[in-house]
Copies of this chain bind each other. A is one copy, B any other.
Amino acid sequence: MFSGAQVSLYPMSDGFVGVILSAIDALDPWRDMLRIETDDLSTLIIGPSEVLFPAMRDLFVGAARTGVHVTLHATVSRGCPGEPDEPLCHPVAEVLDDLALAARVALAREAVASAPIFDQTVAAQFSLYPLGRDQHMDEIYGCIEFLKSSGCFERSKNFCTKLRGDAGPVFGTLGQAFTHFGVHSAHVALDVTVSANSPTAN
């Protein structure tokens, strides 16, 4: 198993370097569980699927607290056949691989209901790509059913689904979508954009 994300933070401010550097401190509590590498386009975080979204949430909330209009983009992946097995990425929790889609929808909904609240409103849109399977749309439609009952659903868009709400439940919803849809052993990718403090929020 190999899992991780290429994450970028975009503060729409002349002081973007300072906003990024101060937000990175918010990753400190997660560093023991992650491998982190940065270049000029993104920061790679490698670690268990369950840890990726809470770590990205804390990074993003750290940047959004500055009040600057800021956006995060991440390309998240698990189970790519081209990547090696990495012990750091082994799931933290027990894996329930053979659950039917309806049971996974219910589990994901329960998890989001107990997400922490950060008093930081965010908008997000994301696409889920269950790869290497003939029936990939079944998993996507199951995920959309979960999203519509997550409490964060705003609307369906072409190629993605839009969420809005507090950072806690929104990142919780994204994490549940990534870990519960596309079976455990599959190659699954997720492409997400999160925004806060936009002057054009509608």
Q: Which A residues form the contact surface with B (CB < 8 A)?
A: 2, 4-6, 8, 10-14, 16-17, 39-42, 44, 46, 69, 71, 73, 75-77, 80-83, 123-125, 127, 129-134, 136-137, 140, 157-160, 162, 187, 189, 191, 193, 195, 198-202
Q: Which residue of B lies closest to A35 (CB)?
A: B158
| Interface pair A41/B125, CB less than 8 Å apart | yes
Does the CB pair A195–B41 fall under 8 Å?
yes
**A189 contact from B40, B159, B200, B201, Cβ within 8 A:** B159
Give the residue of B14, B75, B140, B159 whose beta carbon is less than 8 angstroms from that of A159: B75
- Partner of A10 from the list B4, B10, B133 (CB cut-off 8 Å) is B10
- Which residues of the partner chain B approach A198 to less than 8 Å between Cβ atoms? 40-41
Tell me whether B132 and A81 are in contact (CB under 8 A): no
Q: With contacts A10-B71, A71-B8 known, is A41 near B191, CB below 8 A?
A: no
User: Which residues from chain B contact A200 at a C-beta distance below 8 Å?
Assistant: 40
- Verify A4–B159 contact, CB threshold 8 A: yes
Residue contacts A-B, CB under 8 angstroms, 10 given? A6-B125, A8-B193, A11-B12, A41-B123, A41-B162, A77-B158, A77-B159, A81-B137, A82-B137, A83-B158
Within the complex, which residue of B6, B123, B162 is in contact with A157, where a contact is CB–CB below 8 Å? B6
> For residue A136, which residues in chain B have a CB less than 8 angstroms away from its CB?
131-132, 187
Q: A39-B202, A73-B193 are in contact. List 19 more A-B contacts (CB 8 A).
A: A4-B159, A6-B158, A6-B159, A10-B10, A39-B157, A39-B162, A41-B123, A41-B124, A46-B158, A75-B160, A77-B127, A82-B137, A129-B129, A129-B189, A130-B131, A131-B131, A131-B136, A132-B133, A134-B134
Q: Please measure, in the bound complex, the distance between the C-alpha atom of A123 and the C-alpha atom of B41, giving whole angstroms.
A: 8
B4–A41 CB distance below 8 A: no
- CA–CA, A71 and B73, complex, Å: 11
